Amino acid sequence: MADPVKEVNTAPEKDVSGGPGTEAVHNEKMAIHDSDDGSHDEGRRASVTGNIVHNPLARLPRATAAEQGQAFATGFGMPEHAELFGRASLVARDPERFEMLAELKEDERAALIYERDHKWHGPKMLWYSIGLCAIGAATQGWDQTGSNGANLSFPQAFDIDGKLPDGSPKSPSEVAYDEWIVGIINSIIFLTAGLIGAFIVDPLNKYLGRRGEIFLTAVCLTATPIGSACAQSWQGLLAARFIMGIGIGAKNATVPIYSAEMAPARVRGALVMFWQLWVVIGIFLGFCANVIVKDTGAISWRLQLGSAFIPSLVLAIGIFFCPESPRWLMKHGKIAKGFQSMDKLRAHPIIAARDYYYSYVIYQEELKIARGAGYFQRLWDCFSVPRIRRANYGASTVMLAQQMCGINIISFYSSTIFVNAGYSETQALYASLGYGAVQVIFTIPTLFLIDTKGRRTLCLITFPIMCVFLLAAGLSLLQPSDASKAAKVGPVVLFVYLFTIAYSMGEGPVAFQYSAEVFPTIQREQGMAWAVCINNTFAGVLGLTFPRMSNVMTQTGAFGFYAGLNLIAWGMIFCFVRETKQLTLEELDQVFSVPTSVYLKYESKVWLPYFFKRHILRKQIPKPALLDTAITHPEQVQHA
């Protein structure tokens, strides 16, 4: 793939990704004054760093910070930007008081002020790149809903609908066999996404880059829906969807990372959340396609499955015009190219230099722990290194909770559920279209809430609400046989829509966005791969088991089962999901350095009593202070 980011200088770039002598070269170039002793690495693994983030540049004198910024530019082949990086280092050293820096030029000061006062300000390339990645998410949503509508007809086409040719039911064992076949066809894309696709992400990213990997998976996801539409047997359909799942898993683990690495910290949650917005837009468009082709006869299910190639084709073409991830280029030693890429994604060179240099400084701290680690060592780090393990707890929790809440039984089988409740197939398709529209409409407000209210807060509020509405939807199915169609179907549709509203304003936007941001740069591919594995594997288990579960337990029992899982998911989120709003990807390293035992004591003894008194009893009490580095006992926290 052609690289749209052209190197403007010919100076050799230094490898910062590891290898003998790299740290020595880096320290010599930047004249680093490191007061840590030889126990730094081990000490950092066991450190207790709090939720108040400390800037590593802040401990440097102003003159030293500026000199190191200039040395960074000169040492990595950007001498023309030496003065710029000197000033950027001073801004990064004290970002809240940049207006006091006499060294800044007037246009730089004006750009920084405008950025501070206009949260959504950014260049066209940033919006184009984030928006294009979001379109890629529509592939998954469209495919989910394509199979949703196709479930009404492809089982009949392949004689796996549990009925004999004369319409009479097959034997119980044959019915069970057909139900498992339908389940595996629906779920195979998620099983292969989680168990195969997610774990080929690291080598694909290493050799192809973020853009190259996205292009390859987009081509795969353009071809496989067409292959699904042309299947002549259920085995052929299963094979096409098997390959499709690998592409979905690899794409799902890369696109959110690519978006997170490009987005500014102040709006990263909202910009990366375009992923979820376009997933639900894809769901809605898939339902639209289902309705449009419903009267095409025997080929309707083929058109419903095949139409999912459209967003992937757009992604494959559009990714050529995006810059490579600045942090990926940094990680692979292409420092000057990384800055050129960052400059395209920021509104002014001083903003680009500040963000890029600060990322580099923090990245060097990460290298002290993980320098030279191979693929499997970095994957093992996600479970063995305390800071990364805690991030893994949070990412795995939100990904698993997305399946535990039960939203995908609606996304996969809503048309079947509504038909079983009493709707005709056409009415069920329109009701499912309404479900998709509700998701789109109520995901949009969360764009403005996720970086103000926070990821954790939205989940804690919405999961109990989802439990109530899902249980109510299940109980609404217990209507007497002589009840009118409106009485049978109306409450079910209402509570499914209300459940969807709560999901769209909480767990839905949070899961992939949170997982993409919490891991350190070095372990980001492995951490995201594991999180995607959790999400997609359990989505596959859900898709596989629901047809049989709804037969054995009844749909009411299945809805009640997932309603109970919502409460369990709430408890898991309370324990393991930490707030990440408005922090840089590098600053999150310190958030997750707080030991879990200390964090839980703080949440249960400080935050929870405050929440109950302030929001339940409506008492006007001051907000408690955050955990800080020196605090190991939450009882020491005083009210702010």
Task: Kindly state the percentage of the chain with pLDDT values over 90.
Answer: 31
* pLDDT at residue 269, as a whole number: 63
Structure tokens at 572: 């898991």
pLDDT-based confidence at residue 585 (cuts at 50, 70, 90): low
Q: Nearest to residue 140, comparing CAs of 247, 270, 229?
A: 247
Alpha-carbon dihedral sign for residues 497, 501, 502, 507: positive
612, pLDDT greater than 90:
no
In CATH, what is the architecture of 124-588?
Up-down Bundle (1.20)
Distances (CA, A) of 271 to 284, 408, 449: 20, 24, 12
pLDDT value at residue 118:
85
β partners of residue 639:
624
The pLDDT, as a whole number, for residue 88 is 93
Query: Residue 508 — very low, low, confident or very high, per pLDDT cuts 50/70/90?
Result: confident
* Banded pLDDT at 40 (limits 50, 70, 90): very low
Q: Measure CA 54 to chain center.
A: 26
Domain definitions of the chain by residue range: 46-117, 124-588, 595-636
531 vs 249: CA distance, rounded Å: 11
| pLDDT of residue 538 exceeding 80 | yes
Confidence of residue 572 (pLDDT cuts 50, 70, 90): very high
Distance of CA 307 to the CA centre of its chain: 25
pLDDT in tens, 298-325: 888 899 889 889 889 999 999 999 999 9
Q: pLDDT value at position 586? A: 58
pLDDT, residue 272, reads 63
Helix axes 375-384, 386-404, angle to 10 degrees: 80
Question: Tens digit of pLDDT for each residue in 450-507?
Answer: 777 888 889 999 999 999 999 999 998 887 777 777 777 888 899 999 999 999 998 8
Contacts of residue 273, Cβ cutoff 8 Å, sequence gap at least 6: 443, 446, 447, 450, 509, 513
Checking if the pLDDT of 567 tops 90, the result is yes
Q: What is the pLDDT of residue 25?
A: 34
Between 435 and 146, name the one with better pLDDT: 435
What confidence category does residue 119 fall into, taking pLDDT thresholds of 50, 70 and 90?
A: confident
Which residue from 523, 360, 373 is spatially nearest to 32, judged by alpha carbons? 360
Return the half-sphere exposure (C-beta side, CA atoms, 13 A cut-off) of residue 573. Answer: 29
Q: What is the chain's Cα-based Rg?
A: 26
Tell me the pLDDT of the chain averaged across its residues: 82
Lowest mean pLDDT among 3-7, 150-154, 405-409, 599-603: 3-7
Q: Is the pLDDT confidence value at 226 over 90? A: yes
| Least trusted range by pLDDT, from 113-127, 204-218, 333-347, 473-487 | 473-487
Share of the chain above pLDDT 70, in %: 86
- Rounded Cα distance between 584 and 422, Å, is 50
Handedness of CA 559, 153, 422, 173 (dihedral sign): negative
Token digits for 69?
Answer: 């910024």
pLDDT tens digits along 335-375: 999 999 999 999 999 999 999 999 898 888 777 766 556 77
Query: What is the tens place of the pLDDT at every residue in 149-176?
Result: 888 888 888 998 888 888 888 888 888 8
Q: Is residue 39 over pLDDT 50?
A: no
Residue pointed to by tokens 């439990």: 467
pLDDT of 397 above 90? yes
Q: Which range scores top for mean pLDDT: 41-50, 91-100, 249-258, 259-268?
A: 91-100
Does residue 215 have a pLDDT over 90?
yes
Which pLDDT belongs to residue 82? 94
Is the pTM above the cut of 0.75? no
pLDDT of 10 higher than 80: no
Give per-residue pLDDT as tens, 232-280: 999 999 999 999 999 988 887 788 788 878 888 777 666 666 777 788 8
Mean pLDDT, rounded, for 384-406: 91
Confidence (pLDDT) at 169: 85
Instruction: Indicate the helix (H) or strand (E) that contains 346.
Output: none
**Interval 411-416 mean pLDDT:** 84
**Per-residue model confidence (pLDDT) at position 42:** 35
pLDDT for 7 beyond 60: no
